[in-house]
Structure 1
């Protein structure tokens, strides 16, 4: 038997594992709140000036956990165009993190994508010391000017108090192209929707969809706490001019009875403010333990039946814009190999979810926009 194995610090062995950033010191630092930056994913930001997914003081008081999770910046984007040869970021987080099954890059990092809407390509993720709440990170330093449309994705599981964008002193800066339309897709649900456990922010399934379609996707996933509460429905209904609501909260409900009591009320509240906006109800993905736990399997099947029957009931009552999607098909037959812990998807799982939902969401939004255009033309003729 040999002696003890040597202590390994891979950062000393592989430079790609090191978090050192050679930040260009000749940069101008700009706030995303300034023109011509565009911020997406925070419906109340124009009024409140905070990177927050729900209002600070809503008309209906929020459950405490939801109120806290609303400060997590999942789904947020900063968009702009620049020819800067260098791009860096300064970040002040609300706190530290460290969930056991999620990469720090997904939990607290920023992603950088380059390209026009609908054709963005991943460039890199922020490199930072995960023990620190504040960091500076270099995305690129090309030593030559190259113009690109930039999309930066906010962290999934932490709040952001401040963020600053660093570009060359003489760089040009302009607006990024707008989304395909100004109407956002609004998604409400669970930790899976929020992005647990994507390796980086751009791999949460709403983020993948926002690049594929492309539209603004508002991520209202609340880890363990999106439970179909009526106060959340009333708050979400305040979002102006949505293109689609997606309700994907089954994974947070405690029983079939809970789903049966909350879903109809949630839909009716949304309908009071948005009578014709499409609503897509998505049932839960399959969990790995279902293969061995009949109780877990029966609960999922029961909740799915409730959601399907609720949609059918609203349709029979005359709601032509409500739809159901069987979430058990989202990950495919080998669903248990697409998660970190048997529940939360890996990047592979999120890619499959987005790919599965893309056509349905695209068609629902397209049909709704065509209907809105037709109605507008009819009103113009009268």
Structure 2
């Protein structure tokens, strides 16, 4: 006997996936591009007025793929205080969710944290229909007004064209809590830096670090395209008053001679403009697949040694502000098997382990 399976629709079975936002017309709507909101993660927002991680106009020509990926809002955060009893968000994306190995909430969603800097607690993620590129979602609803500091993490793998914040008609909005330092930490890297494949935006490792270390983190991870082009170094060097540069791009470099050729030039461009800003070079993490492919392990070992040698040579030459972290140790040996979605890209557990390993190093270098 053949038994035909049935489509499971939780909306019809009582397990509502997409609850309606009731009475949203009673709210007052604000653009986070206006005061008193603070938007982090987009160094060129003031000039360009859009949610984009690289400048629209630059003398440096970046590869087309990087230019496209710059519209993904990975690392972008909206920060503010409010005493509203309700918080609702409206988002218009450049496109819908379309990745097989990443949750739509991570690719296209917005998640919400409540609390002061360094004491933020996750409350919820926006509900969205993966096939649609616009959504409205309630993030919380108290019984009475309550003043809280809010951090909203923007989508990791999709562009955001518009965001609107809905609060009570009589709600007070005020500036976000101050950072420990006004200087940003800039992280350059691959899809893993960008946040693939976190289940929601707040679980990408740069966003986790931003909660552990109350500073602005600028996420310049470009999926499949963190290749160390000098044009990217020049653009990064233009960011005003950086606290630190983190280079985590080995995973996209391919043959060992590629990183051997790009890393010295990339570092030198940053160092010429910022002589005393710490530069942290992070080698590639170990992944579940590595244990089964000896050639891959050998390649990783070779590329790691190249990075170590570059850092040691510069330190020997007098640059005491450059440092190295062995990425193969970030996940911990006991966690590698269960730390990736597809054998390569971290799960939330993997990203948490990365951040927990990196945070003490970063704090030490920043003297926090």
Task: Report the TM-score when normalising by structure 1.
Answer: 0.94
Q: How does 1:213-224 map to 2 (within 5 A)?
A: 213-224=213-224
Task: State the shift of 1:194 in Å.
Answer: 0.2
Rounded to whole Å, the distance in 2 between the matches of 1:33 and 1:288 is 41
Rounded to whole Å, the distance in 1 between the matches of 2:97 and 2:198 is 15
- List 4+ stretches of structure 1 deviating above 2 A: 10-25
- Look up the SS of the partner of 2:367 in the other structure: helix
Is the 1:24–1:86 contact (alpha carbons within 8 Å) kept by the matching residues of 2?
no
- The one-character-per-residue Cα deviations of 1:42-82 (angstroms, maximum 9, x if unpaired) are 00111111110000111111110000000000000110000
Q: Which moved more, 1:20-29 or 1:220-229?
A: 20-29
- The residue that corresponds to 1:340 in the other structure is 341
Q: How does 1:249-268 map to 2 (within 5 A)?
A: 249-268=249-268
Rounded to whole Å, the distance in 1 between the matches of 2:347 and 2:23 is 31
- Look up the SS of the partner of 1:95 in the other structure: coil
Q: Which runs of 5+ in 2 are unaligned?
A: none
- The one-character-per-residue Cα deviations of 1:67-123 (angstroms, maximum 9, x if unpaired) are 000000000011000000110011111112311000000000101110001000001
- The residue that corresponds to 1:136 in the other structure is 136
- The residue that corresponds to 1:377 in the other structure is none
- The residue that corresponds to 2:208 in the other structure is 208
- The residue that corresponds to 1:359 in the other structure is 360
Q: Which runs of 5+ in 1 are unaligned?
A: 368-382
- The residue that corresponds to 2:294 in the other structure is 294
Is the 1:193–1:205 contact (alpha carbons within 8 Å) kept by the matching residues of 2?
yes
Task: Give the root-mean-square deviation of aligned CA atoms.
Answer: 1.1
Task: State the shift of 1:2 in Å.
Answer: 5.8
Task: State the shift of 1:342 in Å.
Answer: 0.5
- Look up the SS of the partner of 1:123 in the other structure: strand
Q: How does 1:78-117 map to 2 (within 5 A)?
A: 78-117=78-117
- The one-character-per-residue Cα deviations of 1:239-288 (angstroms, maximum 9, x if unpaired) are 01011100000010111100100000000000111011000000000121
Rounded to whole Å, the distance in 1 between the matches of 2:132 and 2:201 is 18
Is the 1:83–1:145 contact (alpha carbons within 8 Å) kept by the matching residues of 2?
yes
- The one-character-per-residue Cα deviations of 1:4-59 (angstroms, maximum 9, x if unpaired) are 23332233234353343335321111011111111100001111111100001111
Q: Which moved more, 1:284-293 or 1:106-115?
A: 284-293
- The residue that corresponds to 1:330 in the other structure is 330
- The one-character-per-residue Cα deviations of 1:215-250 (angstroms, maximum 9, x if unpaired) are 100000000001000000001100010111000000
Is the 1:23–1:88 contact (alpha carbons within 8 Å) kept by the matching residues of 2?
no
- The one-character-per-residue Cα deviations of 1:332-361 (angstroms, maximum 9, x if unpaired) are 113121000000000000000000001000
